[in-house]
Structure formats: C-alpha cells, structure tokens
Amino acid sequence: MHELSITQHILQYALEESEKRGASRVLAIHLKMGPLSGLVPECIQMYLDLLSEGTIAEGAAVKAQVLPLKVRCRDCHAESEITRHSLACPVCQSLRLQLLSGREFYIDGLEVEIHGNQSASSGNGME
Ligand SMILES: [Zn+2]
C-alpha cells in the first residue's frame, strides 16, 4: 500500500500547478494507471480528502482511468491490448505473453477554477 505517499505527490503537484495558473480551487485530478500498478483509486481519493483539508484542493475529485494492458505474443509476435479478464493473445489465443505495459501511473490533468471559470488542461507524466 503506497497510496499515501503517491497521494502526497499528487496533492503537491496539484497545488503547485494551481498556483502557477492562478487557480482558486482544484475541482478534479485526472489520473491514468495501468491495471498492474497496484493502486486503488478509492484509496487515493480517501487520502486526498484527508491531506487536502484546508488547501484549495479540498473536495477535489479523483478521476482515474485504468489503461489497457499491452502485451506482445511470444508465439505470433502480435502486439495487442488486453484486459485482466482475458489473458490470452487475441490473434492466436496463446497464453505466452510478454508484458509491455501495465504498471504505469501518471497525472493526466487537472480541472481547476480560476476566478469562477472552469479550466481543464493536461498535466505532466509522473513516476
Ligand atoms: Zn499470438
């Protein structure tokens, strides 16, 4: 369980970004994570609620998107995106797959309020 330290980084990033943009509130934080990152969005939200108390990020929503798993088949060499529910090559049904991604995690963007105007923009990769 490393959501706590990750949430501290997310919050710090959100606050720094908001300050740069002159935002008065953080409305939402968009995250992208691989299915094998081991992170639970609900946990991040819970920690964020605790850590952001008294900051402009208080009440911000965590919006996490789980990315597909990218694999390369060792038999037919096709590169495919699969889900955790069907761990076989979609081309030849082989189970001999090499994992290309799935553990990544990054902040995809922030939604902030700037003097009453809502603004969304993309963030930077983080890990
Ligand atoms: Zn295959």
For 1-67+102-118, the fitting CATH number among 3.40.640.10, 3.30.2320.50, 3.20.190.10, 3.30.200.100 is 3.30.2320.50
For the chain, give the number of residues: 127
Task: Say how many Å lie between the CA of residue 79 and the centre of ligand 1.
Answer: 8
The residue type found at 92 is C
**What is residue 1's predicted lDDT score, i.e. its pLDDT?**
52
pTM of the predicted structure, to 2 decimals: 0.80
**What is residue 123's predicted lDDT score, i.e. its pLDDT?**
53
Taking the CB of residue 73, how many other CB atoms lie within 10 A of it? Answer: 20
Task: Say how many Å lie between the CA of residue 39 and the centre of ligand 1.
Answer: 29
CA distance 72 to 81: 9
Q: What is the pLDDT tens value at each position of the chain, 127 positions in all?
A: 588 999 999 999 999 999 999 999 999 999 999 988 989 999 999 999 999 999 999 999 999 999 989 999 999 999 999 987 888 999 999 999 999 999 999 999 999 999 867 766 555 544 4
Task: Say how many Å lie between the CA of residue 96 and the centre of ligand 1.
Answer: 8
Residues, Cβ < 5 Å to ion ligand 1: 73, 75-76, 89, 91-92, 94
Burial group, residue 94, by CB count within 10 angstroms (0-12, 13-18, 19+): middle
CA distance 75 to 52: 49
Task: Say how many Å lie between the CA of residue 33 and the centre of ligand 1.
Answer: 25
